[in-house]
């Protein structure tokens, strides 16, 4: 009978019970690795060193891992020698114990099953550990409960990710089948005058992008008062008009203020008259009509002024499950709080948040429009049209974005320029061309529209996913 090593078996601090473990299965895995050449390759797809409950078993697995990385054979003698070199041979039970390990199993035929059991026990221990931490955080009155809930969600996500240890690689020939299928689908849609993405509300922008595409991170950047929020609301209404559920995370103004801007935009009444209440009967009727139009728009507004990207992700995932989120607008990047590591500079913080925004777009498979502030360097040049280097505080924004669009209105700087005309500068487009698109706006910049109305309805939305059902109508 195999001699068991002396190991400390831990109990949970919460329940006082032994933590989940499967030591016999751990030893069966190690035994299989020692006796068969391909066993480590199979085991390493499912288990890692930290998944072993006994520290001594972890040391033995780590020794095998070192041999594999050094491209040396893994067998009884090589494992013993590696442990001797590491100075841990006697600690794990000596030559006798390693020899006995090799006699536990006669083949690796059940190795994958043994590995799954060990991985499940590890996940159970981590779940206990995470929940213990979360309970302590809930009792700590200095913690914000929203941050605690976000942290709990992240921990659950880590556990979920840990259940998929195996590599999910795919053969190129299988991927190419999907590429060709999607290519012919796009061609068929194009031939029929259909649009694949979510309507932007600007004909030229639709022609270039095909609409906002799934999993894309779109940066909409500009200097203060250049019209970022006005443009974003135009994009939101254009999408919602087609039945697309839009979520707006508005960090700068209240939900009522954002509602006011939408009503002013849709009714085209004077903003000042709306604010002071100096409204004619005709203007009141226009507002009532605007309410009727906007009432059925699937726009959800979160105006929590202190949020993190983790909060945005958690809220978006929940709304996505409820069928209320097919496009996200975040206004704006530099107002988001960082929930990452402490003692980091602002550039690192913005880089982390930018990356999380891209991962959010990819995870939910929807477009994420992230508004961003440009640095003051723009004001210091004679040519004040923005460039990628003007993205404030982080070059990572440029790296993470699929599309970077700058908003530029020349009349903001030059009184003699054409009134009511601006440019959307596509400074980066991962899948297409860069360049400039003209747009027009009214005096109060509450309405955005094409400079040339001709052709605005050329592209009809594609009928798919149940939310492209109506034809585009002029804004």
For residue 223, the domain's CATH number is 3.40.50.300
Q: What are phi and psi of 369, to 5 degrees?
A: -100, 115
In a shared domain, residues 260 and 350: yes
C-beta of residue 403 within 8 angstroms of C-beta of residue 216: yes
**Whole-number pLDDT of residue 164:** 52
Kindly state whether residue 439 falls inside one of the protein's structural domains.
yes
The residue with greater pLDDT, 188 or 195, is 188
C-beta of residue 301 within 8 angstroms of C-beta of residue 253: no
Enclosing domain of residue 105: 23-162
Is pLDDT at 287 greater than 60 in this prediction?
yes
Is pLDDT at 7 greater than 60 in this prediction?
no
Kindly state whether residue 467 falls inside one of the protein's structural domains.
no
Catalytic residue, candidates 58, 100, 252, 337: 252
User: Tens of pLDDT along 366-418?
Assistant: 999 999 888 788 877 878 888 888 886 666 777 888 999 999 988 888 888 87
Is pLDDT at 57 greater than 90 in this prediction?
yes
C-beta of residue 61 within 8 angstroms of C-beta of residue 114: no
Kindly state whether residue 330 falls inside one of the protein's structural domains.
yes
In a shared domain, residues 152 and 236: no
In a shared domain, residues 154 and 34: yes
The residue with greater pLDDT, 150 or 360, is 360
Last residue of one domain, picked from the residues 136, 162, 188: 162
pLDDT band at 466 (very low <50, low <70, confident <90, very high): very low
C-beta of residue 447 within 8 angstroms of C-beta of residue 430: no
What percent of the chain has pLDDT above 70? 87
Give the span between the Cα atoms of 33 and 37, in whole angstroms.
Answer: 7
In a shared domain, residues 92 and 41: yes
Closest CA to 347 of 360, 356, 338: 338
Strand partners, 362: none
In a shared domain, residues 254 and 381: yes
In a shared domain, residues 153 and 219: no
Catalytic status, residue 252: yes
The kind and range of the H/E element at 176 are helix 172-191
Tokens of 127: 């779940």
| Mean pLDDT estimate for the chain | 82
pLDDT band at 163 (very low <50, low <70, confident <90, very high): low
Average pLDDT of 441-459? 67
In a shared domain, residues 265 and 409: yes
**Whole-number pLDDT of residue 108:** 77
In a shared domain, residues 101 and 205: no
In a shared domain, residues 314 and 430: yes
In a shared domain, residues 242 and 126: no
Residue 147's domain is classified under what CATH number?
1.10.860.10
Q: How many domains does the chain have?
A: 2
What percent of the chain has pLDDT above 90? 29
**Whole-number pLDDT of residue 38:** 86
**Whole-number pLDDT of residue 463:** 33
Last residue of one domain, picked from the residues 107, 136, 162: 162
In a shared domain, residues 294 and 413: yes
In a shared domain, residues 447 and 316: yes
Exposure letters 410-442 (e unless 16+ CB within 10 A, then b): bebeeeeeeebebbbbbbbbeeeeeeebebbbe
pLDDT band at 454 (very low <50, low <70, confident <90, very high): very low
Kindly state whether residue 253 falls inside one of the protein's structural domains.
yes
Kindly state whether residue 6 falls inside one of the protein's structural domains.
no
Average pLDDT of 429-445? 87
Kindly state whether residue 363 falls inside one of the protein's structural domains.
yes
User: Tens of pLDDT along 178-188?
Assistant: 788 878 887 88
pLDDT band at 460 (very low <50, low <70, confident <90, very high): very low
Which residues does 182 contact at the CB level (< 8 Å), separation at least 6? none
Kindly state whether residue 9 falls inside one of the protein's structural domains.
no
Kindly state whether residue 170 falls inside one of the protein's structural domains.
no
Q: Judging by beta carbons within 10 Å of its beta carbon (0-12, 13-18, 19+), is residue 332 exposed, middle or buried?
A: buried
**Whole-number pLDDT of residue 470:** 36
The residue with greater pLDDT, 439 or 333, is 439
């Amino acid at each position: 009978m195999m001699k068991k090593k002396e190991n400390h078996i831990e109990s949970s601090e919460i329940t006082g019970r032994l933590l989940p473990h499967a030591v016999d299965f751990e030893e069966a895995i190690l035994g299989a690795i020692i006796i068969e050449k391909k066993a480590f390759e199979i085991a390493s797809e499912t288990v890692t060193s930290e998944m072993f409950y006994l520290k001594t078993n972890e040391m033995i697995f780590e020794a095998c891992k070192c041999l594999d990385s050094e491209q040396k054979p893994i067998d009884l003698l090589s494992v013993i020698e590696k442990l001797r070199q590491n100075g841990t041979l006697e600690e794990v039970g000596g030559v006798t114990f390693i020899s006995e390990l090799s006699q536990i199993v006669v083949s690796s035929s059940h190795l994958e099953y043994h590995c799954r059991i060990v991985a499940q026990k590890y996940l159970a221990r981590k779940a206990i550990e995470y929940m213990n931490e979360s309970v302590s955080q809930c009792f700590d009155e200095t913690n914000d409960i929203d941050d605690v809930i976000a942290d709990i969600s992240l921990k659950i996500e880590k556990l979920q990710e840990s259940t998929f240890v195996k590599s999910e690689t795919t053969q190129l020939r299988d991927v190419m089948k999907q590429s060709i299928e999607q290519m012919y689908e796009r061609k068929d849609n194009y031939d029929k005058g259909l649009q694949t993405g979510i309507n932007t509300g600007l004909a030229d922008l639709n022609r270039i992008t095909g609409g906002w595409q799934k999993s894309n991170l779109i940066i909409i950047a500009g200097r203060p008062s250049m019209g970022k929020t006005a443009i974003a609301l135009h994009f939101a209404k254009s999408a919602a008009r087609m039945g697309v559920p839009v979520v707006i995370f508005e960090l700068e103004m209240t939900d009522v203020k954002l509602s006011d801007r939408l009503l002013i935009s849709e009714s085209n009444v004077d903003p000042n008259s709306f604010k002071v209440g100096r409204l004619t009967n005709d203007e009141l009727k226009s507002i009532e009509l605007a309410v009727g139009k906007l009432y059925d728009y699937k726009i959800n507004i979160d105006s929590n002024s202190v949020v993190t990207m983790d909060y945005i992700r958690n809220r978006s995932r929940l709304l996505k499950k409820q069928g209320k989120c097919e496009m996200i607008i975040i206004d704006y990047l530099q107002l988001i709080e960082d929930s990452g590591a402490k003692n980091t500079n602002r550039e690192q913080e913005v880089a982390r948040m930018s990356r999380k925004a891209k991962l959010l777009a990819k995870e939910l498979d929807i477009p994420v429009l992230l508004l961003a502030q440009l640095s003051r360097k723009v004001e210091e040049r004679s040519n004040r049209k923005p460039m990628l280097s003007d993205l404030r505080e982080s070059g990572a924004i440029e790296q993470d974005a699929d599309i970077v669009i700058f908003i530029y209105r020349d009349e903001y700087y030059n009184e003699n320029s054409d009134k009511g005309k601006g440019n959307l500068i596509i400074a980066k487009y991962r899948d297409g061309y860069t360049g400039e698109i003209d747009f027009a706006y009214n005096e109060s910049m509450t309405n955005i529209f094409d400079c040339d109305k001709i052709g605005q309805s050329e592209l009809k939305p594609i009928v798919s996913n149940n939310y492209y059902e109506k034809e585009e109508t002029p804004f």
